[in-house]
Chain A
Amino acid sequence: MQVSHSLKVWALSAGAGALGLMAASAVVPAQNAKTVLMINAIELSGGGATVGTNWRDAVDMAVKDINGAGGILGRKIIVKHFDTQSKPGISKAVITKALDEKPYVVLGPIYSSSTKVNMVVTRRAGVPHIVGSEAASITQTGNPFIFRTSFGQSASMPKLANYLKDEVKAKSVAVVWVNNAFGKGGRDNAVKELKARGIAIAADISTEVQQADFSAEVVKAKQSGADVLFAYLHEEESARLLIELKKQGYDKQIVGETTLTSQKVLDLAKDAANGVKGHVGLTADANIPAIREFARRFEAAYGRKPDHNGIKGYVAVHVVKEITERMGKFDQKGFADALHCTTITTEQEPGVLMDISYDKNGDVDRASFLVEVRDGKQVVTGVLPKLGNAVGC
């Protein structure tokens, strides 16, 4: 009888333990003791295929590097890529499904419109979310799980406006922007910063995502008589605009922010990109050995030079590694807390390529670059230091 009672207690304990384990497995990320899962929801087709492909390949490269060096806290990274098709609706469906797999973190997307719908889903699930998007509004919603890999527009546009005022000596600017969350955010911030510095907006020209024909926009820009044309479009549209500007013999200074001088735009626009100037947060042509080495290895692996989105994807995975190793455990809430108001130096984690700081909102601060396109190549003409004004820290 005594034996029977002990058996019952043992059986009940085992049953309770099994149920506990099952329950725990439902809330703990789906990873065994040897692996950690990352979901990469990114633009692999549609208008953002160019940028998304760079990001994906760099994420793969980072995962390979980290796994080759033993993984994160001894666990190998498993990354699963999901195609958002560059459409917010698809993106939301994709991330909702992907979260069923209980990832430790979510990476991507890059298109701000997609990020804005995805971040609501990841916030609800309590999953840290590192994106390549730049729309200012993304980090202004008090979402504790959202983090950038590049400047938001509220950080990049003041730098650009200073550049236009002090270096280019612009008196009036024609602004050509893409009419979506990314472009509207950029346009609003740029116009605000330009006006604050006494630069007139001679023309305010909106364009559509995946627009193919820019002839009318170029005529409008020419009509405006602006000293400078500031273009804030996605990569493919930027290239088409530059081609059309050259076709129509546009002879004023063309300036952009990050995308306009990105490698993909230079590849597509070829000679039409020569002479374009801009401010970029990240560039494979930066005179920084770690970036040069990353670019060399990326080109050897994928047969093309990485753009800034490639650098962002590579950095994102290493940020996850560094913060997790600082904590010494896989804790999603702890990760989000630890990444706010912190700095990761290249001494601490060489994979971040440049010292990077995060503020309370998940915005990034780091040095940036002034560039000019010469002979189809981006040439760095100046380095701007970190802003050093981390919000809320």
Chain B
Amino acid sequence: MSDIVQLFVSGISTGAIYALAAMGFTLLWQTTGTINFAQGEFVMLPAFIMLAAMNLLDVGLLSAFVISLVVSMVLLGAAFKRALVDPMAHHGVLPLIIATIALGIFMKEAVKTFYSAEAQPFAAFAPEGAMRIGPVSVSIENIAVLAVAVVAILALQLFLQRTFAGRCMQAVAQNRESARILGVPVERMVLYTFLINAALATLAALLVTPTYLAKFDNGESLGLIAFIAAIVGGFNQMRGALAGGLLIGLIDNFTAVYISTQYRHAIPLILLIVVILFRPQGLFGRAEERRL
């Protein structure tokens, strides 16, 4: 029982990080039709910005996170939108996908060149070690990761549903032209989406890097898993990406312990195939029709 609880906690805490990245996928897709294949690198880069801030400016982790948040929102939010998405969006989904793949490669190589190809240690934001809850021993860091991720996700949901700006963003996501006719400042709402995506990626970097260590190629696996999570949960629903992330995290951990460590990465892909075959809109997504 103790093992199952431990696995559940660590699986769901890892899954919450996947969910943060996966939600970025859905946000950008809903508002601009962008599938950002550099999403994994969007999580990798803020970790290095935090490291650079800590090493060069001699600031603590929290201050480095704030600096990274601002820089990421400028670079990975506003600049990404203006310099890459806006000019490419008119050419359709495929060129934009290829452009984001190229961006991901560029970001990886840039970090490798200017920082290092070697993994770097990264400070944990929560105390290490385990705490006992009755007979069960769980990692304090996992609990903290889970708590921060849940608070972030709840805050985002509240923002989207309870604020004027959030409802405008949803309107843009549902029907951009109607929103424009109703007076919603569409371009600003789209910009907000990119800024939120950058913020989510920075938060994911803070949570995941102490365990993964900071390395230029961290984004490869993280981006792929987040993409799978978004597809499995539902690419057009935030709650779908959330559920997909948590599900993948749990499946990954339970598979490794109770089925096989060798095939742990295959199971999410099998799940992806099954979902695409039997419920293409994802577990929590809504079916979309397109008239040709």
Contact = CB atoms under 8 A, between A and B. Distances in A.
Interface of A: 44-46, 49-50, 53, 179, 205-208, 210, 212-213, 215-217, 219-220, 222-223, 236, 239-240, 243-244, 246-249, 264, 267-272
Nearest to A236: B119
Contacts of B212: 212-213, 240
A55 B14 CA distance: 35
Q: Lowest 5 A-B CB distances belong to which pairs?
A: A249-B130, A216-B256, A49-B117, A215-B10, A247-B139
A239 B256 CA distance: 19
A236 B129 contact: no
A272 B128 contact: yes
B128 A246 contact: yes
B211 A248 contact: no
Contacts of B221: 210, 212
A364 B14 CA distance: 43
27 contacts: A46-B217, A49-B117, A49-B118, A205-B261, A206-B261, A210-B217, A210-B221, A212-B221, A215-B7, A215-B10, A215-B11, A215-B139, A216-B10, A216-B252, A216-B253, A219-B253, A220-B257, A223-B257, A236-B213, A236-B215, A240-B213, A243-B128, A247-B141, A247-B211, A248-B137, A249-B130, A268-B120
A267 B261 contact: no
B6 interface: yes
A271 B128 contact: yes
Interface string B107-137: 0000010001111110000001110000001
Contacts of B118: 49-50, 53, 264
Contacts of B279: none
Contacts of A243: 128, 210-211, 213
Contacts of B120: 268
A144 B253 CA distance: 46
Nearest to B130: A249
Given A246-B128, A249-B129, A215 B253 contact: yes
Contacts of A49: 116-118
A249 B137 contact: yes
Nearest to B255: A216
Contacts of B11: 215
A267 B213 CA distance: 11
Listed residue (B10, B212, B221, B262) with the most chain A CB atoms within 10 angstroms of its CB: B10
B78 to A, nearest CB: 30
B3 A268 contact: no
Contact of B121 (A45, A210, A248, A267): A267
A236 B217 CA distance: 13
A205 B262 CA distance: 9
Interface string B200-212: 0000000000111
B130 A248 contact: yes
Contacts of A222: 3, 6
B32 interface: no
A47 to B, nearest CB: 9
Contacts of B265: 208
Contacts of A244: 211
Nearest to B13: A215
B281 to A, nearest CB: 29
Nearest to B122: A268
